[in-house]
Amino acid sequence: MHNTATVNKKDQIMMQLAHYFITVENYTPIVVRGVQNELWLENIDAPYRIIRINTNHIHNDEQLKFDLFKIKNIVKQVKKKTLSFSIKTLNILVDVGNNVNLKGDNKIDCVLVDMDKGIKKSKEINSLYPDLKENLLDEQDGIEFLINVTNDINQKTEKDNKEFEKVFSKKNINFTYALIAINIIIYIIGIIGTLSGKYDIYTAFALHRSYVQMGEVYRLITSAFLHENIFHLLMNMYALYIIGTQVETYLGKTKYLIVYLFSAITGSLLSCAMGVHWSLGASGAIFGLMGTLLYFGYHYRLYLDSALKTQIVPLIILNLMLGFLIPNIDNAAHIGGLIGGLLMSMALGIENKSSKNDRINGIICSIIFIAFLIYLIFFMK
């Protein structure tokens, strides 16, 4: 017995578009309940972050207005999930009455893919995506067409899953433990020196604006490995263990170390810029790692939206508030480290997420930030 399958024109257009947007433009399907004959796609890094393909018949202008109203309500839900203030949406319609005035609003663009002409002859969609024609899956017999669409999308999904596993899979943690060990060893050396009266590493290596201005710039980094007492050390090392292991897993060892040291320096620089006082501790660098978590979580917010809203952001806000409320906490170093971590994370980039322009902007902003802080310390009177 010979099995045959047919795909109607509307479904064929939808599947061709879905194939292109998923396999070429890196969109991901969104599950939207209560809709029929619609496909919703999402790519938070694309110009149109949401694409909705609708094969339902739009009879008149009033029905189009109601259609746009439905889109706005669904987009509101996506905004909450992805912590987004604004989402540009492309509404692709396939079956529209001749008297319909096809227009969207400032956040929703409406495009018609004429069911009779087909995708290749629909000018609007091809002007938005010039490579659509050459990447469009050819029309074939029903069953062959379905198999090819399914296979290509499955291959793309498998590739995405491998990239996801590469980023989030458990890895060996080396640098975080090494940094914790270095901080503990330096603390012990400091205690021995103080008790024996032979040397004082705190006076020699802690942060002070006057000494930095005199040329002892090494204090910008050495101060990040000194701690005032055992409580100060244990609090910072616990925070470094919790946050550092996550960042090292997500970012990779080399990028992790660069962010840590850069954040330590920017924290020290802002501390010096804000006043003349002694300062020491790893908290500026740790806040830089929090900045990395914030930047990473934003790019992977489809997976980490709950952690971003309930853990990462509240943790940063709570620690900054404590810095303002509790005396003798160098909140300038915290803020400087946080900004430094964000900027350096942007400069280094997030694998599979950051564009070349993002990294260039991160490098430029990092240089400007460092230059501004240096100007405040050495040239501002």
Residues annotated as catalytic (active site), given as ranges: 283, 334
Nearest to 283 by CA among 217, 246, 331: 331
* DSSP 8-state code for residue 310: I
Q: What is the radius of gyration, based on Cα positions, of the chain?
A: 27
Per-residue buried b or exposed e for 285-316, using 16+ beta carbons within 10 Å of the residue's own CB: bbbbbbbbbbbbbbbbbeebbeebeeebbebb
Q: Helices (DSSP H) in the chain: which residue ranges?
A: 9-23, 61-82, 123-128, 132-135, 142-168, 175-196, 201-205, 209-213, 219-222, 230-251, 253-274, 283-299, 301-307, 313-325, 331-348, 356-378
Tokens for 294?
């914030």
Euclidean distance between CA atoms 212 and 210, whole angstroms: 5
Maximum CA extent, the chain: 96
Cβ atoms 227, 263 nearer than 8 A: no
In the sheet that 38-42 helps form, which strands lie side by side, from edge to edge?
28-30, 38-42, 50-58, 89-96, 108-112
Which residue has 């029903």 as its token pair? 142
Cβ atoms 345, 353 nearer than 8 A: no
Burial of 116 (0-12, 13-18, 19+ CB in 10 A): exposed
Q: Which amino acid is at 6?
A: T
Q: Which amino acid is at 8?
A: N
At residue 158, the 3 state secondary structure works out as helix
How many beta carbons lie within 10 A of that of residue 322, not counting itself?
Answer: 12
Euclidean distance between CA atoms 54 and 33, whole angstroms: 14
Angle at the Cα of 349 from the Cα atoms of 343 and 354, rounded to 5 degrees:
115
Euclidean distance between CA atoms 263 and 70, whole angstroms: 45
